[in-house]
Every structure is written in structure tokens, then in C-alpha cells.
Structure 1
């Protein structure tokens, strides 16, 4: 098997969220994939093997398997484009069937994914109170135009929209407390955002459920946010841009295309870059 190291959602050739991509003839045992993901140490590693006309894909964080990961899907689409040429690749996930379109040219390398269907709902008062306390926030820090919500785009994400960029920049939390809260509530990530304009957002995305303090770019959370904005009748005009990772020193850029039908898939796009040369690994060690 070949392990590739690819940063997804890079911004002007810098930053992006590192992902492992392993293309193989047959997926290894789950225990082996989990061990490899822990060894790689990225927030997710995608494992893909041919299946029918597409690919069977599983995603592993260092500590747990997740059903969907946006940035690893972008990295996978880019890897497939480099191996097989630009095109549309059907993907069979644990709980959804999606596609990723990989592109490769003299000037750009990246991919666009179609997320699982989206949905959103309110947050209970006790959960909101506990989440605000986790991040040292109060109700006055929230943007009333975008009420706190549980948004789904392949997994559940708790969206907290802040009314000041400075509050987002100052985000801190306790990893162990965050992990316990996320595990209890079934939250893949906490998605803290600030709307500069109706179509331009800054985001920070803690991922304690996977043992990661913060992700510099999160495609699944971007899809969930975009779907929620559509549910709110937010004036997105069909697309938003999300800047993430800037406060970590890892600038990342995500584009989300939003069709008008409620619940419809979100198209999340981004550029990629190689982090280091691929390495050959044994599937059975």
C-alpha cells in the first residue's frame, strides 16, 4: 500500500489540513487501519479500495473511526486525479454514497466533493450552556442572526456563531472536557464561526472526539454550516467562502456551493498540496 501525505484546502499554496490517503487493492482490517491512522497522526486518514465502478472508503482519526471526513475526501479526490486522471469518482462510505471530482492542471490541483444530505435542528438549553462554558463564552458572545444549532453534513456538528472576530481568535478549551461532551452528545466537531459578510466566514473547528484539539480545515463542518445557512434562509446567494486555520498559522480556504433545495448535498471545494513524498506500508504489520 502507498501512504500519501496531502494538505487539503490549502490557500495560495500554503496551509491546508494534512490528511493521509491510502489507495489499496483491498481494505486492510479495521484494527490495522486504526493503528496506521494513529501512527500517521493526522486528524484523519482515508483508506480507499476499488469497489464496482467506484471506491469503498473508510476514514480513521488517531483514536476512532469516523463515517465521513471532508478534508480527507478532498485529499483522496486529488490523489485519484493524479493517479487516474481528472474525473468524477463515486465513493461508498459507511453510511452514505457520495462523489468527489478530482482536478489536476498546470496551475491547480484539488477536488470538489458532494456531501451527504444535510439537516439541522436546535440545541437544547442545557447543551448550549455547557458548550458555552467549555469555551469560556456567554450568551452575549453569540450572533443572534445565526442561532446555535446541531447541523448535519455527514456527521453532527455544534454550530456556535460569534458576534466578534476577536472572540473567535481567542478560542480556548479543555481537550478532555471537550472530548467527554462530544462523545456524550455524538458531536463530531464544535464549529465556531464568525460572519464577516453574508458570504464570507471565519471558522475554528475543535475536534476533541477524534483526539485533535483543532482542525485547520474541515470540509464536513463546512457542508453542515452551509446546509444550516440554507435552512435559515441566510442570504448566501448560492455559495460561501470559509477561511479557517488562520489563528493556528495554517491558512486554509474552503468554498461551499449551496443549491436551493433543502437537505440537498453541498458542493465543497478546495486546492491541495503535497506535504512529503509517499511511503510504502505493509497492510498486515
Structure 2
């Protein structure tokens, strides 16, 4: 028997179409098998597809890359909230999402700005393999750290812009991502994020990496409110705040498409 599911695609962390990071959003009445969700994500072939179901006064939320289910995703959470607010008649100003590994995530709306409340993920020193420096483009960072992903800190924004990674080599070195960052020229900090092992060479804008970046730069710059750009080709903008063991990330979103899936 064929099942028909609604699907939306949203550009997150931007106020312009074709900017930010695209995410697919698939509302469900009840969970379908994970294998089916993975096939849908692979067919969509964008960095993340979010699936959610209503559960009382909150929603359960899961995210899939084209190759596996991921533990935390910021831009697809923002995209899901955007669809609930703008397409599915969610009436309150705050949404609670329960997740498998990241606990409860909250998204609030004020005018056209969405704020995500996520767990902070402080980084720790890490000894980088030489092969990783070669794969990232040969430029040595000033500092190497790690939480979920490896984080390389560079001297300036130009270093980040000019990195040209070897994605096939990166994919063989680490199954998780490689995050690069530096102080920004016209903002507090910039970043890029590479995760070829997940089927995404460069992720355009990554909420989950800012769980690492915000506590790092808050300490480095001596302030808790920060303005950030992820300087991928599509570029994304985030207003950030460190709040104890939580990080707040605010950004815009725009709907690109809505349609139906037949499985």
C-alpha cells in the first residue's frame, strides 16, 4: 500500500532563498521505520532531512543525513520550527522538541527571528594527525580541539576562506566532521564545516558546530553575546549567546518548496 507524506524544504539561517543551509522537513503522524527515513534522506540528497511527530504538548524530532541518522542538527531544527509556525498553524511562540540523544531542544519565535536553545559542547585539546593537516589543505592551525568534531582554529578569516580540502582524504581520516574557525573581520567569528564521511563535503551552515564555537569564542573574546557567519558559498548568519551550559542561536528561515512523497 502506497503512503503519501508531506514534505517541505527550507533555507535556514538566512533571509534569502538560495542562501543558508537547505533542510527537508517531513511531518509524520507516527514513526515510520528508520530504514525508510534513511532512504528518504538519501533521495533528498541534502545535508539533513528532519522527521517529527506530535506527542502531547511537544514534538519528537529526528534528523538524517544522506548516509546516517545524526545526533544533533541545528539548521534542520530551525527549519522544522519554521514549518510548524508558518505552514502547520502552530499557535504558541515556543516549541519543545524531544530528541534521542540531545535532550529537549526549544525554539522560540519573535517576529521573523527564530532562537534555538541547545546544549553547549565545550571543546578540549586534541592531537591532530599529520594526515588531517594535509587533507585540510596543508595550512597549520594555531590550535586543535575536539568535542564531537575536530576543531581547527586559524589566525584570520582569510585562512578560513582559502582552505581547499581534499574531501576524499578527509572522509578516510575521520567519520565525524572537521570544523575550522577564526576571528571574523566584520563579526566576532567565522567558520566552515566539512563532513564528507556523511555524504556532505561542506555543510553550508551548521547549528550543531556552534554548540562548540559559542563557548570557545565567548571565553576567547570575553563576552557572551556574539555575531557569527559561516562563510560557505551559500553563507549563513547567526546571532549567538552563551547562557551557562546552554547556547542560544538565532537566525531566519525561508520556505523553498512544499510537496508530497509517495513511498
Q: Verify same fold: TM over 0.5.
A: yes
The DSSP-based 3-state class of the residue aligned with 2:40 is helix
2:116 corresponds to:
113
Tell me, which stretches of 5 or more residues in structure 1 are unaligned? none
Structure 2 residue 105 is matched with structure 1 residue 99: yes
Aligned residues: 257
Closer/same/farther in 2, CA of residues 12 and 62 from structure 1, 3 Å limit? closer
Report the Cα offset of residue 198 of structure 1: 10
8 Å Cα contact 1:222/1:254 also seen in 2: no
> Which residue is equivalent to 1:149?
145
CA offset at residue 236 of structure 1? 4.3
Take 2:83 and 2:146, find their aligned partners in 1: how far apart are those partners? 32
Confirm or deny that 1:252 pairs with 2:240: no
Aligned partners of 1:38, 1:200: CA distance in 2, in Å? 35
- Give the root-mean-square deviation of aligned CA atoms: 2.1
Retained in 2: the 8 A contact 1:86–1:101?
A: no
1:26 is paired with a residue of what secondary structure? coil
Say if 2:135 and 2:167, in contact at 8 Å, map to a contact too.
Answer: no
In the alignment, the residues of structure 2 paired with residue 121 and residue 95 of structure 1 have an alpha-carbon distance, to the nearest angstrom, of 20
SS of structure 1 residue aligned to 2:78: helix
Query: Which residue is equivalent to 1:180?
Result: 172
* Whole-angstrom distance in 1 between the partners of 2:47 and 2:83: 18
State TM-score, norm by structure 2: 0.90
Shift of residue 32 of structure 1? 0.6
Match of 1:49 in 2: 53
1:62-211 → structure 2 map (5 Å cutoff): 62-82=66-86, 83=88, 84-103=90-109, 105=111, 108=112, 110-124=113-127, 127-139=128-140, 142-143=141-142, 147-151=143-147, 156-183=148-175, 187=176, 189-196=177-184, 200-211=188-199
- How far is 1:102 from its partner? 4.2
Instruction: Give unpaired runs (5+ residues) of structure 2.
Output: none
Counterparts in 2 of 1:8 and 1:236: CA distance versus 1, 3 Å: farther
